[in-house]
Amino acid sequence: MKLVVAGTGYVGLVAGVCFAEAGHNVTCVDVDEKKVKLMESGVSPIYEEGLEELMKKNNEAGRLHYTVDYKNAYRNADAIFIGVGTPEQPDGSANLSYIATVSRQIAESLEKDCLVVVKSTVPVGTNDKVEQFIKDFLVNDVKVEVASNPEFLAQGSAVRDTLHAARIIIGTESRTAEEMLMKIYEPFKLPIVSVSRRSAEMIKYASNDFLALKISYMNDIANLCELVGADIEDVARGMSYDARIGANFLKAGIGYGGSCFPKDTKALKFLAEKAGYHLETVEAAVSVNARQKTKLFQKASDRMITFQGLKVAVLGLAFKPGTDDLREAPSLDNVELLLESGAEVYAYDPVAMDNFKRKYPEGLLKRGKISYVEKPEDALQGANICFIFTEWPEIKEVPAESYKELMQPPLVYDGRNIYDVKEMEEKGVEYYSIGR
């Protein structure tokens, strides 16, 4: 089947590559000509395990194409998947301007009947508006239907999550649209849940926000554990055996980040308020997460007289391992505070440093300064304090004794509970973590 994917970010590019892997003929559309040429050469513009290999494989097989010529791509497509961004606006609502732009381009380009499928995360009711918007601007006499097909990939495992998803959600308003989406996804051999468009839109928000709630709940319990002398990891292990709770998303830390949870919790909160309803649980999750991000900085501030002139090692910049994405990463909030406090930051991340440099170029910034190093040990050498923000394998592999040997004093604030508390104490490290 001839498929076109609009947008080549995490959603669009991963979807396009996986559709090609499933045997479809896929064209990915983007506005950036340099990015298109990069992808044509087999290089992925985002860091995602397994993605580049599949890009090269399907490029060579002739099933995967890239273009900035949207008119030619859209005009005779069997189905067009919209995977552009819906960034958060200041009030928490989703910015649908990219969706609108692509919708109008589709309307003005189509020369045959087509199914338009929105994969982007959008407020409930958006697909109805997209269908009407496209029909308002159609140039040719063609039939267009719009369907909802939200993605549930996690950055760092996006390819695996797409090819081996727990389920595929499709939201349609006609049997024709439903059958076409079923046919597109048939090669994936995965369970398909078919619902209305509005239900599909809500499933996406309800799922992401539930996981965000789970994380914030565990962080809240972790903070209480510290006060009453319990260990959050023991608590989580005990909870995980309960099938009603499950073992996933029970790990305490310094909060969630990334492109989905922060944006989607705020968007659902905004949607509820607009409908005249107050989502207290989601609001609480947002509040807990905001406080959790800088919890360790506050702890360190209580311990230190000042950060002025101190060498501070920062291990991990990405919001999670397996990605170079910095959106809503706790490292951003904490490095900002450290630089404002006059610290000399030495930062390490195996893949996200180039992205971080765009926001914090190497050298003097604010009252402090920042440098980037190639190994965790380079950051720790002579450091007075260390913050761990991402549990990369390269960081987890640093022996406990290295902190004692390289730092002066060996003062470690671990936001991901990488190390054993007793081992760090035995090695002579002053060690603070979350909920332990």
Q: Rounded to whole angstroms, what are the CA distances from 224 to 154, 175, 232, 434? A: 29, 52, 9, 10
Question: CB count, 10 Å around CB of 164?
Answer: 11
Helix (H, G, I), strand (E, B) or coil at 369: strand
Residue with tokens 């980040």: 257
Tell me the CA end-to-end span of the chain in Å, nearest whole number: 54
Pairing type for strands 363-365 and 344-348 reads unpaired
Helix (H, G, I), strand (E, B) or coil at 347: strand
230 CB-contact burial (10 Å; exposed 0-12 / middle 13-18 / buried 19+): middle
- Residue of 18, 114, 225, 260 marked active site: 260
Residue with tokens 């140039």: 139
Residue with tokens 């995980």: 240
Question: Which amino acid is located at 34 in the chain?
Answer: K
Contact 280, 209 (CB under 8 A): no
Residue with tokens 């046919």: 183
Q: In the annotation, is 260 catalytic?
A: yes
| Residue 18: both structure tokens together | 């996986």
What order do you get walking across the sheet with 114-118 strand by strand?
Answer: 64-67, 25-29, 2-6, 79-82, 114-118, 144-148, 168-171, 192-195
Residues carrying an active site annotation: 260
